[in-house]
Amino acid sequence: MVGDEKHGAEFGRDIHRREFIGGVAAAAGGVLFIPAGLVRGSAANSAVRVGLLGCGGRGTEDATNLVETGGARVVALADMFQDQLDTARAAFDKKQSGKGYAAIDASQLFVGPKAFEQIAASKEVDAIVVASPPYFHPQHLEAVVAGGKHVYLEKPVAVDVPGAKKVVEIGKRAEGKLSLDVGFQIRDCPPFVELVKRIHGGALGNIVCGEAHYLSGYLDRPAWAGASPTERRLRNWVYDRVLSGDIIVEQNIHVIDICNWIMKAHPVKCAGTGGRLGRPTDGDVFGNYNVVFTYPDGVDVTFSSTQFAKGWWDVTERFFGTKGTSQSPYSGPLGIWGDEPWQTPLTPEKDSQGFSATGKFTSNLEFADAEKKKAFVESITTGNFHNQAAKGAESALSCMLARTAAYTGREVTWDEQMKSHEVWDSKIDLNKLG
């Protein structure tokens, strides 16, 4: 674990320094040990061999995207539950047979509490998608990096401050040796990339304030009537505060990450409220948040979210500057209005809420996953390794800041939060499910 008062105050600056050092190290001394198949000429053998740890909706979507880049094939699967593993195996065998790939070998199917260690140790795998419940991300990431595997880590990187700091430390171990991507695919989505480039180029002038929201409907999950209470918690972890980090850390993080990206900083303090009003009896996560983030130079950004609403869905960020206004919704007009106007062409939205469970997007985010996964595969095959651990931790910590403010009903500063040693405990023994 890393962390002291100085670390909290200098976290944002340290991120940029590490990214620079990491880029130099990757360019100058990064060495990638590519499996022999990559030089044999066969399409099936030359693809990056991917393992999937966590075979639910989002993990399956991530791994499918990697296959669809044309540069990867899924060769191993790991999950806590056999039925999840079986469903994923059938889906990938069917999809990959059309590409001439062999079925996933039975020796590369891992199930149960030790599955993460087994897939991390597999000599048949080059890279692993970690899409287990967020509570386990630091532990699973550590095993994967120790196993010498490139990793695509789904967000959030952790659910508590010590976990986020641990991810930063693990990232240092991987620096210049492995690619470590975090699942913020919007940072690779062409219209968002162009928008942020223009904002950073001065198209808004001085940013004065902002507002953002993530208004989503209820995430429906099976009741699992025959399962034990612990098994239901694990299977429906999005309803569980400790396993997910709560909705502001698990789901809303995409919007808060974009705010950090645009502001080139993390919030210095936050005040907020939230609660479960209107939400079904489905665990202990909140159903809504309303917070105010204060960024450097006194720039306030308001944020609100829901995860219970019926008949409504909308996600966007807006920033107001001395030269113009920006808007970046998942669906609808995206661009800049003012002295330096620029907007993207409108694309019809095909499924306004389908992304919530799987992350499968259309409209403004239609190419987000494809570009993100393409960049990940290319980082591996070229040896220009990514290291997004620090950025991933910064955005997770920004969300935790808001969560703490809402839980306690008081303003919380970044420096105060970074002193926290509170480790969240799921009170789950995976060896004693029943």
398-409 pLDDT per residue, tens: 999 999 999 999
**Do 387 and 173 meet the contact criterion of CB atoms below 8 Å apart?**
no
**Do 125 and 75 meet the contact criterion of CB atoms below 8 Å apart?**
yes
User: Cβ of 308: how many Cβ atoms within 10 Å?
Assistant: 18
Average pLDDT over residues 296-303: 98
User: Per-residue pLDDT for 36 more than 90?
Assistant: no
Q: Cα 113 to the chain's mean position, in Å?
A: 23
Helical axes 368-382 vs 57-68, angle rounded to 10°: 60
CA angle 96, 69, 360 (to 5 degrees): 90
User: Per-residue pLDDT for 142 more than 80?
Assistant: yes
In this prediction, residue 413 carries a pLDDT of 98
Helix (H) / strand (E) containing 210: strand 207-217
**Do 356 and 217 meet the contact criterion of CB atoms below 8 Å apart?**
yes
In this prediction, residue 424 carries a pLDDT of 98
Q: What is the pTM of this model?
A: 0.88
Show the tokens assigned to 302. Answer: 């308001």
In this prediction, residue 312 carries a pLDDT of 85
List, in order of start, the domains of the chain with CATH numbers: 5-185+378-387 (3.40.50.720), 187-360+392-417 (3.30.360.10)
Summarised one tens digit per residue, pLDDT across range 59-100 is 999 999 999 998 999 999 999 999 999 999 999 999 999 999
User: Per-residue pLDDT for 12 more than 50?
Assistant: no
User: Per-residue pLDDT for 28 more than 80?
Assistant: no
Show the tokens assigned to 172. Answer: 């240092």
**Do 387 and 174 meet the contact criterion of CB atoms below 8 Å apart?**
yes
How high does pLDDT run on average in the chain?
89
In this prediction, residue 403 carries a pLDDT of 98
User: Per-residue pLDDT for 218 more than 80?
Assistant: yes
User: Per-residue pLDDT for 45 more than 70?
Assistant: no
Amino acid identity of residue 171, one-letter, is G
Summarised one tens digit per residue, pLDDT across range 323-332 is 999 999 999 9
